[in-house]
Amino acid sequence: MNLEELPREECLRLLQRESYVGRVGFIVEGRPMVLPVNYLAEERSLVFCTPLGTKLSHLAGGAPVAFEVDASRSLYQSGWSVVVQGTANEVVDDRELELLRRGPLKSWATPSSGHWIRITIEEISGRRIPES
């Protein structure tokens, strides 16, 4: 097995262009929770939409989170994974919300009028197992 550590630039490229469904990990009532979300990533942050009242609404006030995306080719025993660590906050600026609601991100489960959460990319790391 040839495990490669990925540089920041490659991690950002994979996060921004190779996946649009990721998993956000956070704590709810003292227990770990991981949920899938549709997202869009920029250089310093990523955003997703969630309805009011879901577990994800716990992220609105500066919660520490982990965010992960990956892809695999099991037949070739290869794949990659990118992990972001950061802080989640609800987007409250009216102008930014309008841009997000009109933008390209269309959540599979949530109307774009829901609550928008931004995760800052404070740390990012990635690994790849190339095809052998």
> Nearest-CA neighbor of 62 among 12, 17, 13, 120?
120
Percentages helix, strand, coil for the chain, rounded to the nearest 5? 20, 50, 30
pLDDT digits (tens, 9 = 90+) for 15-66: 999 988 999 999 988 899 999 999 999 999 999 988 777 677 678 789 999 9
Q: What's the CATH architecture for 4-126?
A: Roll (2.30)
Which residue in the block uniquely carries the two structure tokens 């841009």?
Answer: 99
> Nearest-CA neighbor of 70 among 119, 21, 124?
21
Stated pTM of the model: 0.89
Is 129:77 a contact under the CB 8 Å cutoff? yes
What residues does each domain of the chain span?
Answer: 4-126
pLDDT digits (tens, 9 = 90+) for 64-120: 999 999 998 877 788 999 999 999 999 999 999 999 988 888 776 666 667 899 999
